Structure 1
Amino acid sequence: MARQSLGIQMNTWFEKYMFVLIPLSLVLGVLCSPLLIDHVPLVPWLFGLVTFVMGLGCGWKDIMAAFRRPLLFLIVFVMTHLVAPLLAYGFGAVLFGSDSSYTIGLVLFAVIPLGISSVLWVEMARGAVPIMLALVVVDSLLSPIVVPLSLSLLYEQSIPFDGWAMLLDLLLIIVLPTLAGIVVHEWTRGQAKPRMAPVLLPLSKLAFVGVVMLNAAAIGPFVRTWDTEAFIVFAAVCGLVAAFYALGHVTERLWPPHLSPPQSTLGFASGMRNISLGLVLAMQHFGAETAVAVVLAILIQQPGATIYHALIRRRQRVLAGNLN
């Protein structure tokens, strides 16, 4: 019982300080690059563990719940995989040129699937957690089609890019581990994750940190050559993240009242991405320069979620005060 309690306490601590741990692991990865770079091949395995644990928390019924709300699913899909990549492409084309590696990195950051951490933020904002989890899982399962297709439509043949190789990577590190988690969830009637939570939850957080740290080690030599352009990319990422949250928030405010508004679901769905996956794809298929935007997104996404959550809570308090 004490061991269980310790495991859950560790996981709670990880979740509470993840917004600090991720940037810190990024910095440590760059600084310790000579020591860590030989272990970069472990990244797909660590990421597979993270997605397996995500799948453990979701059953087929949860996935079908997303499809039973087709309007919500369609709007999230359009925001994250049509509007967001076009915004990123526009930002990058104006600042760096359409074929710049920085622009490709911005587009990649925009087009990758929803981030699993969005579920945690939706829970803290008292939003629709089961629906958010279903959206994340479904979006992740569709990523082998959506990510290569989106990049191909925007760039056609203008960048060297093997869509089939990316599809295979996404199948191996996203789809198969997620499906394995769902199968175990169904086989154990949803009991696997609660029973294994004291071990698996903190372990998956450590794996998540490891993914960021090892990928940061891989780009370490390149980071040391950054110039003033990196600050422009950082400003572009900040602008994009803010635009994504604003897009989700405005859409949420326009949501028809009779369709059961999703509260904070659309805001976090639109604003958060699976950045660790983006970092893996950038390093394996495009190179360190393309990974710059994804790396810098790590520094802004969780603080951005913190600010957005604070704004939501403030609005909720104002509304509660008006009702009283």
Structure 2
Amino acid sequence: MKEKALAFSSWVDRGMFWITPSLLVLGLVFSKPFLPLVPAIPYLFAYITFVMGVGCGREHLKQVFSRPMPIVLTLVISHLVAPLAAFALGSALFGSSSPYTIGLVLFTVIPLGVSSVLWIELSGGSLALGLAMVLLDSALSPIVVPGLIQLFFGADLTFDTLHLMRDLLLMVVAPTALGVVIYERSGGKFKQQAGPILLPISKVFFMLVILLNAAGIAPYAYELRGDLVSVIPAVLLLVGIGYMLGYYTPLLFKQRTPELLVTVSFATGMRNNSLGLVLALGYFSPQAAVPVVLAILVQQPLATLHQFVLRKFKPYPLKESLRS
């Protein structure tokens, strides 16, 4: 049983390149039966984050915050360089006041995506660093998001900070804290012992998250499908720029460890698009939501492509789920 469970987890890891787009298509095309399950996404994320957390102790987190340069670099790339690139790209293609430009910039100013931590773990990056960056960026988002929108567009933007923090508490903070406590109490052995049960379930939940996210955005995708063709190239380019900046910028600062390059590149390439969609529809025109919807669609496939390229052309030591 243990061997089969580990084999299944390994199969999912190897197959993300085709599993992700397949689940996205399935969720979009057959969204109706899955829509009632969309509210379960935060709870699925919570379990996944907990499983990752049991492989991370206090010492890991202390080491991360004792050397803050990677965190600072990631936030600068994500919320300074990327928004400037988005504004320049949108202005050149659609005009500086276009709702599409607003949507492109909005994608770059929203917090780092929780799902980036999943890809960091799958791809051999630093779990502790990934979690720390997501937590810090999410905590800063009530200031960062309205501030940058005001800077670029002069819009007076507010949103439900308490709701955002509650979701982040549920999805990231609480399960991570629980996982760290268990790691400490077990001396790091809990994941090795319970892994054959925990890991396959977390992989199933990960696939469900992709499927349900696709189902959740299907109504918006269908409603705005007439606008998609003109914006798709811009979104693909912008998301791709995020991954590239995250991989190559650390090299300028002599931050060359494969683990760090993997971590920063996934963190800068992925955003909390669920929040972005809420903001776009709640405070701007439906057209501003188009880039965010498209980013949701292309972000996961590009993550699989990014992982494939890293494996193929930039070999780095991948973590074994239980053997690390």
Distance 1:245 1:267, change over 3 A: farther
Provide the rounded CA distance (Å) in 1 between the counterparts of 2:101 and 2:31: 22
- Distance of aligned partners of 1:248 and 1:33 in 2 relative to their CA distance in 1, 3 Å threshold: closer
50-59 or 295-304, larger mean C-alpha shift: 295-304
Q: Once the two structures are superposed, what CA deviation does each residue of 1:164-200 show, in whole Å capped at 9, x if it has no partner?
A: 3222221222211111111111121111211121121
Q: 1:263 to 1:98 in 2, by over 3 A?
A: farther
Residue segments in structure 2 that go unaligned for 5+ positions in a row:
282-288, 317-324
What letter matches 2:120 in structure 1? S
Q: What is the percent sequence identity of the aligned residues? A: 29
The answer on whether the counterparts of 1:56 and 1:192 sit within 8 Å (CA) in structure 2 is yes
Work out whether 1:299 is the aligned partner of 2:305. no
Residue 175 of structure 2: which of 162, 169, 177 is its match?
A: 177
SS state at 2:207 partner = helix
Contact 2:247–2:264 (8 Å) recurs in 1: no
**2:284 corresponds to:** none
Change (3 A) 1:100 1:300: same
* Residues 174, 92 of structure 1: alpha-carbon distance in 2 compared, 3 angstrom cutoff: farther
* 1:165 to 2:196 alignment: no
Q: After the TM superposition, which of the residue ranges 77-86 and 63-72 deviates more from structure 2? A: 77-86
Q: Which moved more, 1:96-105 or 1:180-189?
A: 96-105
Q: Pick from 226, 241, 248: which aligns with 1:243?
A: 241
**TM-fit CA distance, 1:252:** 3.3
Letter in 2 for 1:144: S
* Contact kept in structure 1, 2:242 and 2:269, CA below 8 Å: no
2:5 aligned partner = 7
- Mark the runs of 5 or more structure 1 residues left unpaired by the alignment: 124-128, 315-324
Distance 1:68 1:170 in 2: 24
Q: 1:306-317, aligned counterparts within 5 Å? A: 306-313=308-315
1:191-243 alpha-carbon deviations (Å, 9 max, x no partner): 12111211211211211211121121122222223445323433223222332
The superposition leaves residues 89-140 of structure 1 with CA deviations (integer Å, 9 ceiling, x where unpaired) of 443454455572674365335643261212332x3xxxxx4xx222111112
Q: Is the 8 A contact 1:59 1:185 kept in 2?
A: yes
Cα offset for 1:28?
A: 0.8
Give 1:292 shift: 3.0
Deviation at 1:36, TM superposition (A): 1.1
Contact 2:86/2:101 (8 A) holds in 1? no
223-232 or 91-100, larger mean C-alpha shift: 91-100
Q: Which residue matches 2:141?
A: 147
Cα distance between partner residues in 1 of 2:209 and 2:105: 20
2:71 equivalent among 52, 73, 93: 73
TM-score of the superposed pair, with normalisation by structure 2: 0.81
- The residue number in structure 2 matching 1:107 is 106
Shift of 1:77: 3.1
The answer to whether the Cα contact below 8 Å between 2:243 and 2:265 also exists between their aligned partners in 1 is yes
Rounded to whole Å, the distance in 1 between the matches of 2:52 and 2:305 is 22
Distance change in 2, residues 1:70/1:282 (3 Å): closer
- Provide the alpha-carbon RMSD of the alignment: 2.9
Contact 2:52/2:176 (CA < 8 Å) preserved in 1? yes
Counterpart code for 1:134 = A
C-alpha distance in 1 between matches for 2:45 and 2:269: 11
Q: Any idea what SS the aligned residue of 1:224 has?
A: helix
Closer, same or farther: CA 309–109 of 1 in aligned 2, 3 Å: farther
Q: Secondary structure at the match of 2:274?
A: helix
CA offset digits 1:257-295 (Å, max 9, x no partner): xxx7323523551344685x7243345554464433222
Paired position in structure 1 for 2:31: 33
Q: CA deviation at 1:58?
A: 0.7
- Residues 94 and 283 (structure 1 numbering): CA distance in 2 closer, same or farther, change over 3 Å? same
Partner of 2:62: 64
Q: Which residue pairs with 1:322 in the alignment? A: none
TM-score of the superposition, structure 1-length normalised? 0.81
Per mean C-alpha deviation after superposition, the further-off stretch among 22-31 and 296-305 is 296-305
Query: Using a 3 Å threshold, how does the CA distance of structure 1 residues 247 and 283 change in structure 2: closer, same or farther?
Result: closer
CA contact (8 A) 1:39 1:214 kept: yes
Partner of 2:272: 278
Cα distance in 2 for partners of 1:99, 1:189 equals: 54
Distance 1:89 1:69 in 2: 31
Q: Give the conservation status (yes or no) of the 8 Å contact 1:105–1:294.
A: no
Sort the Cα spacing of 1:143 and 1:249 in 2 relative to 1 into closer, same or farther, 3 A: closer
